[in-house]
C-alpha cells in the first residue's frame, strides 16, 4: 500500500483543501499584526499629544495651589462660576488646597484638584464625597494630572463621583489652547 502525500496541485488537487485554509490563516494573522501595530502607534501618538498639552502649561511642575488655580481657570473657560471655599487643613495646619466649588446651570459641584505623581486612592474619592456633603453640593469631581487606582475608580462609580484623569485633563487643556 502506497500513500501519496504530494502537494502538487496538478497531480493532487486535494492539496487545495489544505493550502487555501493555510493561506487564509496567514492572511488573517498578517491583518491582526498590522492592526495591532497601528493601534500601538496610535496609542503612542495619543500619549505624546497628552504629554505635550500638559507640558505646554507646566502642569507637572506646578505646586498644589497653582494646580488648583489652573483647574479653576479651566472650569471658568467651560462656563462654570468657581469659588474657593474656606481652605481645608492637614494635621500640621497646612492648607490642603484641594477644593473648589463650581456652579453652572443652577447646580453645584465640589471639585478636588489633586496634583500628584502616583495614582490616587479611594481616600481621595471619600474626601471628595465628604466635601460634597459638607458644602451642600449636588455632585463631586476629582481632577488630577495623574491617574486613579482601580479601587478608586470603583468607589467613584458607586458614589457618582466624576473622575478627570491625565488624558481628560489634557483634552481640556488642548481645547483651551485651541480657543
17-34: per-residue pLDDT in tens?
666 777 777 788 878 777
DSSP output for 36-47? HHHHHHHHHHHH
Three-state SS for 71-117 is: HHHHHHHCCCEEECCCCCECCCCCECCCEEEEEECCEEEEEEEECCC
pLDDT-based confidence at residue 90 (cuts at 50, 70, 90): very low
The CATH class that applies to domain 62-178 reads alpha beta
Nearest to 113 by CA among 123, 126, 128, 92: 128
- Residue 93, pLDDT score: 47
For residue 98, give the C-alpha cell: 484641594
Residue 11 predicted with pLDDT over 50: yes
Residue 177 predicted with pLDDT over 50: no
Greater pLDDT, 143 or 8: 143
33-48: per-residue pLDDT in tens?
777 777 776 667 666 6
- Kindly report the number of other CB atoms within 10 A of residue 65's CB atom: 15
**What is the rounded average pLDDT of the residues 96-103?**
81
pLDDT-based confidence at residue 179 (cuts at 50, 70, 90): very low
Amino acid at each position: 500500500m502506497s500513500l501519496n502525500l504530494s502537494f502538487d496541485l496538478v497531480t493532487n488537487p486535494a492539496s487545495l483543501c489544505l493550502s487555501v485554509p493555510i493561506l487564509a490563516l496567514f492572511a488573517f494573522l498578517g491583518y491582526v499584526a498590522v492592526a495591532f501595530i497601528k493601534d500601538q502607534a496610535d496609542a503612542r501618538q495619543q500619549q505624546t499629544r497628552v504629554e505635550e498639552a500638559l507640558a505646554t502649561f507646566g502642569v507637572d511642575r506646578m505646586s498644589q495651589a497653582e494646580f488648583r488655580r489652573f483647574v479653576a481657570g479651566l472650569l471658568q473657560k467651560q462656563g462654570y462660576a468657581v469659588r474657593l471655599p474656606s481652605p481645608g487643613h492637614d494635621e500640621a495646619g497646612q492648607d490642603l488646597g484641594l477644593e473648589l466649588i463650581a456652579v453652572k446651570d443652577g447646580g453645584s459641584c465640589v471639585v478636588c484638584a489633586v496634583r500628584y505623581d502616583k495614582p490616587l486612592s479611594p481616600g481621595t474619592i471619600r474626601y471628595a464625597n465628604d466635601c460634597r456633603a459638607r458644602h451642600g453640593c449636588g455632585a463631586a469631581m476629582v481632577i488630577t494630572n495623574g491617574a486613579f487606582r482601580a479601587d478608586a475608580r470603583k468607589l467613584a462609580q458607586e458614589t457618582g463621583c466624576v473622575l478627570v484623569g491625565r488624558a481628560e485633563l489634557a483634552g481640556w487643556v488642548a481645547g483651551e489652547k485651541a480657543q
